[in-house]
Amino acid sequence: MVQQFDVIVVGMGPGGEVVAGELLAAGKRVAVVERELIGGECGYWACIPSKTLLRPPESQRGVDRAAGVDGARLDWSSTREYRDYMIRHLDDSNQVAGYEKSGATVIKGTARITGPGAVEVDGQQLRAADIVIATGSSAVVPPIEGLDRVPVWTNREATTLTEIPARVVMIGGSAVGVELGLFLARYGAQVTMLERSARLLSREDPRPGELTEQYLREDGVDVRTNATARRVRRDGADTVVELEGGGEVRCDVIVVGTGRSPRTDGLGLDRAGVRLGERGGVSVDEHCRAGDGVWAVGDVTGVMPFTHVAMYQGRVVVDNILGTPRTARYEGIPRVVFADPEIAAVGLTAEQAQNQGLPNAAAEVDLAQVLARPWTYETDPRGHLGVLADRERRVLLGAWAVGPQASEWIHTAALAVREQIPIDRLLDQIAQFPTYNEGYLKALQNLDLESRS
């Protein structure tokens, strides 16, 4: 029997959930297909558990750093219990019931496109005018000799762990490596972080990476840049990671944070005329259209692997399906690593601006030197802010911040970059005293927009 719908959503991570939720609210007949858990990677093995696990040690350190508070204690077993509650004990039955109550047909299984407007799930035939692909991404495990013969964790095992390993080698020093490496170190693991680039967070400006390395070292993480694992072997109970150029590190478990790969295998994309882009993601146009009657959102597009981008693309697709043409714009999207202090960035790096031939000027401020807030917040204040401006157009091109709650105050720069707010207008803005947000005035005042960069 063929079941007919208006829209079939394949994959129910944050991208698919936004699409399904908004289309159901608009009265569409929606089938949602999910082969694991409704909520996706983000809800069970990525954003939610990682932020939940990072928070207790952050607040403990916050107590230590605040004047006049006498210590706080970490309790791994209650942290673990709260993590389990936050990841719904890996049970999505309430989500399934919720979508069914909203009128969706929920199908648990692996979807495969069999032709235009046609999807098959374990022998069930579904038809719809529109198919939305929201299948996300999987962790990349690098091709290192011997890695398949030792204990290796991806984000899945690391975020659902029950006991903290004694010694960890973290391969990768970007978002996943920094967040999970910090969490493990703060719960007592001896963490060695191997990053093959010359610095951490190598896609960002150099300063956030330098500051991140400094703070991770203060937390006891053995950060090694320009370090690549060559081979891995077992030696008794130890896993031994041999490094390019000599040297080795012993550990109990290897955790990989070496990137993500879009989940497109076995989807039957060619049956619907869908093509893959350079980075292996589903190629989409500016409306998130992947083909005739086919749309794609989230990590599977390879555009920017963030939950907020998946949800934004979801909103764009919903409007297009409902008949209001909408174009996705990717300027001014925040990129945050939830370390301690937090690392946030938006827009272009200085190198990207240079490569695009944009006449630019940059300025950095040490917020502890120019603001009151870092001192009212903690006794050993931290906080740096960098801004990058287009000298000719006199608008902000990008910004980065490393400091407490930077994930929140980066949004001032995000809005300025996205809306191209003139710097003279930004200089006239009045920020609440005493906040980290006041740093923008200081940084913008330090910009030299006249001389050549």
Residue 179 annotated as part of some ligand binding site? yes
Note whether 177 binds ligand NAD by CB under 6 A.
Answer: yes
Answer for which of 338, 400, 409, 436 binds ligand NAD (CB under 6 A) is: 338
Note whether 312 binds ligand NAD by CB under 6 A.
Answer: no
Six token digits for residue 371: 């603001």
Planar angle of CA 198, 281, 229, nearest 5 degrees: 30
CB distance 376 to 355 below 8 Å: no
**Contact partner at residue 229 from ligand FAD, ligand NAD, none, CB < 5 to 8 Å by partner kind:** ligand NAD
Q: Given the structure tokens 């920020």, which residue do they identify?
A: 431
The residue length of the chain stands at 453
CB distance 233 to 240 below 8 Å: yes
Q: What does the alpha-carbon distance between residue 327 and residue 317 come to, in Å, rounded to a whole number?
A: 9
Note whether 197 binds ligand NAD by CB under 6 A.
Answer: yes
Q: Given the structure tokens 């960098």, which residue do they identify?
A: 386
Answer for which of 306, 377, 400, 440 binds ligand FAD (CB under 6 A) is: 306
When computed from its CA atoms, the radius of gyration of the chain, rounded to whole angstroms, is 23
Q: What does the alpha-carbon distance between residue 145 and residue 131 come to, in Å, rounded to a whole number?
A: 40
- Whether omega before 151 lies within 30 degrees of 0, making that bond cis, reads no
Note whether 16 binds ligand FAD by CB under 6 A.
Answer: yes
**Contact partner at residue 258 from ligand FAD, ligand NAD, none, CB < 5 to 8 Å by partner kind:** ligand NAD
Reported as type and span, the H/E element at residue 86 is helix 76-86
Angle at which helices 175-186 and 47-65 cross, to 10°: 50
Residue 195 annotated as part of some ligand binding site? yes
Note whether 10 binds ligand FAD by CB under 6 A.
Answer: yes
Q: Which stretch binds ligand NAD (CB under 6 A): 165-173, 274-282, 287-295, 408-416?
A: 165-173
Note whether 104 binds ligand FAD by CB under 6 A.
Answer: no
Residue 173 annotated as part of some ligand binding site? yes
Q: What does the alpha-carbon distance between residue 98 and residue 244 come to, in Å, rounded to a whole number?
A: 51
Residue 266 annotated as part of some ligand binding site? no
Residue 202 annotated as part of some ligand binding site? no
Q: Which stretch binds ligand NAD (CB under 6 A): 22-30, 113-121, 175-183, 206-214?
A: 175-183
| Residue (107 or 361) nearer to ligand FAD, CB | 107
Note whether 335 binds ligand FAD by CB under 6 A.
Answer: no
Q: What does the alpha-carbon distance between residue 170 and residue 195 come to, in Å, rounded to a whole number?
A: 9
Answer for which of 175, 251, 296, 344 binds ligand NAD (CB under 6 A) is: 175
> Binding site for NAD(+): what residues are annotated?
172-179, 195, 259
Binding region for ligand NAD (CB under 6 A): 142, 171-177, 179, 194-197, 202, 228-229, 257-260, 305-306, 336-338
> Binding site for FAD: what residues are annotated?
51, 135-137, 299
